[in-house]
Structure 1
Amino acid sequence: MRILIADDHDLLRDTLIAFLSAEDSLETESAATLDEAVTRIKRDDPYNLVLLDYKMPGMAGLDSLRKVLDMEGGQRVALISGEATREIAEQALEMGAAGFIPKTLPAKSLVNAVKFMAMGEQYAPIDFMKAPDEAEVHPLAQRLTPRENDVLKALTAGKSNKEIARDLGITEPTIKLHMKTLYRKLGVNNRTQAAMVARDEGLY
């Protein structure tokens, strides 16, 4: 399988090539810019997989990913990055990318991911793709809107409606509306009871 690694960090690129080249089934080439990668794709024998660094010279984010995906040759394209967010990775996969590899991925896992993608599968590490707030969301917090959670946290800290309104940048009447909804959802009658529920449930 032929792999093109396009990354402007010499050390990382050379390290990736060393690990991948150690595999008998993988043949690797490299590029340091998007233009160089595009030239190689046009000129070289077809690649099974192209790894594009999300931040290398010439890259214009997902627009450049689309450009390489649309090139002739039928190569599969994956993003590799130390900075891209989960949202960017999700968008890349939706666009048809072969996968997303964080630069923090252990070498052995990276080699396996490359093989996986080169064979036609789509790859993204589960831990990276799972948002922190999806991993551990308090059951009580799930019942409230983000703003209601903000209000509950503030009143649990002993703040007045006026202080909460100032901190959140909204009016006191709006705070009172949030309080009313909050009381109904928590099954309480006042702010003291609401704070007690939050504390008893271990939310704040």
Structure 2
Amino acid sequence: MKAVRLALHTNGVTILIDIPLNEWGAAHMRHDVVYNEQILAVAQDPFQNVATVLICPNLLLRTGISHILSGTRFAMVDGLCDDPSNLPALDDTMPVLFMICENRATEELVAMVDTLKTQHPLSRVVVLADAMDPDTVIQLCGAGMDGFCATSMDRHALVKALEIVILGETYIPASIGLALLERARQSRAHHAHDGAGMPVNTPAEALDKLSEREAQILRCLTRGSSNKVIARELGVAEATVKVHIKAILRKVKATNRTQAAIWATGHFDLAQDNVRALAAGE
């Protein structure tokens, strides 16, 4: 089973753990695959500078982060950048790191991360904020975020976290990682309890209820695609995608797109296994 590797930082110690994709939710692994193939070898060179773009309108904060990163391999790109629409010219064949350092609504951050990953698919994106809840982290990781760093981190820990991200891993603080693990455990226990009583729709029944278009969109959700990306990929209006997603949530009995993606990651594979088994029996 594929997994997302997370780097958890606590008390000065960094721990790497793997969380299965069907527990993590949306998988932005497609970005990592390309990154690993084309950029990782360069990023592993400790003497190779990493072009670092700080998206932050606060001059004081920009100055502070620039001071923290001075003397490291993370070379700040000159010029004020407060939005993905006014990015400086970048060489996408070399390691590029975007750091988003401003307070925005979750939807705005998701759109920003998605835009950066669409424009620069080989880049790495880190969000720096005072705090972030697990649900927001899941949404941002689904959009392509590669790391979340708290403003309370010490200088050396922040630099190490950025090193982990530029080496192709996903970094989040231990508190969030442990919360996600606990949520996954509770989810498994809840599904096991449902299985003992009157079950909801079986995977086969739910899959049969989906139209071909809904199945296509559900597969896009498992890849962490935003509504805009799905609409562009399928050649339909974004409003149409939203209507289909509402129908999908109802049919698979999910309360949000993340739950639907978690459900689909396992059950699409299960359905394919059943088809292969029937074919072998014939």
Per the normalisation by structure 1, the TM-score is 0.54
Aligned to 1:26: 74
Per-residue CA distance 1:102-133 (angstroms, 9 max, x = gap):
1121111111111211222211111244339x
* Partner amino acid, structure 2, of 1:39: N
* Partner amino acid, structure 1, of 2:52: I
Counterpart CA distance in 2 for 1:14 and 1:126 is 28
Report deviation, 1:39.
Answer: 2.5
Matched, 1:82 2:82: no
- SS of alignment partner, residue 94 of structure 1: helix
Aligned to 1:48: 96
What is the 5 A alignment of 1:1-204? 1-23=50-72, 25-29=73-77, 31-35=80-84, 38-41=85-88, 43-46=89-92, 48-55=96-103, 60-72=108-120, 74-131=122-179, 134=182
Greater relative contact order (Cα 8 A, min sep 6): structure 1 or 2?
A: 2
**Kept in 1: contact 2:68–2:155 (CA 8 A):** yes
Per-residue CA distance 1:115-160 (angstroms, 9 max, x = gap):
211222211111244339x59xxxxxxxxxxxxxxxxxxxxxxxxx
Report deviation, 1:90.
Answer: 2.2
Per-residue CA distance 1:41-68 (angstroms, 9 max, x = gap):
5x233452111125269x8221221111
Say what the alpha-carbon RMSD is for the aligned residues.
3.1
Report deviation, 1:16.
Answer: 1.3
**Kept in 2: contact 1:93–1:100 (CA 8 A):** no
Indicate how the Cα distance of structure 1 residues 107 and 48 shifts in structure 2: closer, same or farther if over 3 A, else same: same
Counterpart CA distance in 1 for 2:176 and 2:153 is 10
Per-residue CA distance 1:146-181 (angstroms, 9 max, x = gap):
xxxxxxxxxxxxxxxxxxxxxxxxxxxxxxxxxxxx
Report deviation, 1:9.
Answer: 2.5
**Kept in 2: contact 1:50–1:77 (CA 8 A):** yes
Aligned to 2:9: none
Counterpart CA distance in 1 for 2:120 and 2:146 is 16
* Partner amino acid, structure 1, of 2:67: A
Counterpart CA distance in 2 for 1:32 and 1:83 is 22
**Kept in 2: contact 1:33–1:56 (CA 8 A):** no
Indicate how the Cα distance of structure 1 residues 128 and 9 shifts in structure 2: closer, same or farther if over 3 A, else same: farther
| % identical equivalent positions | 17
Report deviation, 1:14.
Answer: 1.4
- SS of alignment partner, residue 149 of structure 2: strand
**Kept in 1: contact 2:51–2:96 (CA 8 A):** yes
Give the paired residue count. 132
Indicate how the Cα distance of structure 1 residues 97 and 73 shifts in structure 2: closer, same or farther if over 3 A, else same: closer
- SS of alignment partner, residue 145 of structure 2: coil
Moved over 6 A (4+): none
Counterpart CA distance in 2 for 1:83 and 1:115 is 21
